[in-house]
Amino acid sequence: MGLVTSTEMFKKAYEGGYAVGAFNVNNMEIIQGIVEAAEEEQAPLILQVSSGARKYANPVYLRKLVEAAIEVTGLDICLHLDHGDDFDICKTCIDSGFSSVMIDGSKHPFKENIALTKRVVDYAHDHGVVVEAELGKLSGIEDAISVADRDSTFTDPDEAIEFVESSGCDSLAITIGTSHGAFKFKGEPHLDFERLDKITALLPNYPLVLHGASSVPKEFVNLCNQYGGQIPGAQGVPEDMLRKAAKSGVCKINIDTDLRLAMTASIRRIFVENPGYFDPRQYLGPGRLAIKAMVAHKIKNVLGCSNKR
């Protein structure tokens, strides 16, 4: 019980055809909202910290908040570094008690990505920590991407086996058409499921990871805009596509943007409806509830991991 790696979570998720949610955390209210939902839903949980979150909140605060969440709820939580850029940040997180790190070497050439990932894996495994790596480039908005572009940026299935075997990484983030942020597709949303199936066939029982997996629900975009926001034409990954991916070897689904939208929509509304409010608890409290509702929805209706802890 307590801080755990994702190994058991992924094994059960793979066998059960569901995914574990990996939610980005930046402050206390975000952590509390996520954890309360996971506790009520009895769901496995990964909390992930980006470099930006480390700079914003100070890593010690975030780690201590996650420890507090474990103490208060008794949940098993995997504490994960999101998009570690180099060996040093991974080492720092491993040394300070993270149970999982991502080394994102996707910007490097194939062999360099393998070498960097292997270096992190060797250090992490010596310390009982698991490693996620990334192969393929998560691009910006997909704009009627050509087959040639797709082949050069999306994960190559044959390279995926070589990468996993040579680097020893415990899970692999793949690119099949998702991207970070609120603007993922200009036209119809499309994920390359054929490619996913090939990767899964070549790497059976191996946990894959989907980044950029927010669905950017229209109601939250509209709510933000109704209360003074300006978020035009956002477009996320449809929820049915995520459910399909979760049944095809994707064991970890990363969600950040949808949490941002939910919290911001709620706080914008509070300010417009209550111009006299100036106690931060009056807006951060509802913001935390909005995070909780969003995470509960993901767990129940998208990830399929209710009662799987």
Active site residues: 82
Segment interacting with ligand G3H (CB under 6 A) among 48-56, 92-100, 168-176, 290-298? 48-56
Segment interacting with Zn ion (CB under 5 A) among 116-124, 208-216, 222-230, 237-245? 208-216
Q: How far is the CB of 56 from ligand G3H (least distance, A)?
A: 8
CB 33 within 8 A of CB 23: no
83 binds ligand G3H (CB under 6 A): yes
- Residues contacting 283, CB < 8 A, separation 6+: 266, 267, 270, 271, 277
Which structure tokens are listed for 266? 């709620």
**Stretch 172-201: interaction string toward ligand G3H, x if CB under 6 A:** --------x---------------------
Q: How far is the CB of 238 from ligand 13P (least distance, A)?
A: 13
34 makes contact, choosing from ligand 13P, ligand G3H, Zn ion, none, with CB < 5 to 8 Å by partner type, with none
Count of other CB atoms within 10 angstroms of residue 281: 10
Positive or negative torsion for Cα 309, 196, 102, 22: negative
211 binds Zn ion (CB under 5 A): yes
Euclidean distance between CA atoms 38 and 35, whole angstroms = 5
Closest to 104 in 3D by CA, of 53, 77, 138: 138
Q: Which residues bind ligand 13P (CB under 6 A)?
A: 24, 82-83, 180-181, 211-214, 254-258
Which structure tokens are listed for 1? 């019980």
27 binds ligand G3H (CB under 6 A): no
Euclidean distance between CA atoms 218 and 224, whole angstroms = 10
**Cβ closer to ligand G3H: 14 or 23?**
23
Closest to 180 in 3D by CA, of 230, 136, 140: 140
Q: How far is the CB of 260 from ligand 13P (least distance, A)?
A: 8
**Cβ closer to ligand 13P: 181 or 229?**
181
256 binds ligand G3H (CB under 6 A): yes
260 binds Zn ion (CB under 5 A): no
Dihedral Cα 193, 199, 205, 206, nearest 10 deg = -110
Rule CB under 6 A: which residues touch ligand G3H?
24, 50, 52-53, 82-83, 180, 256
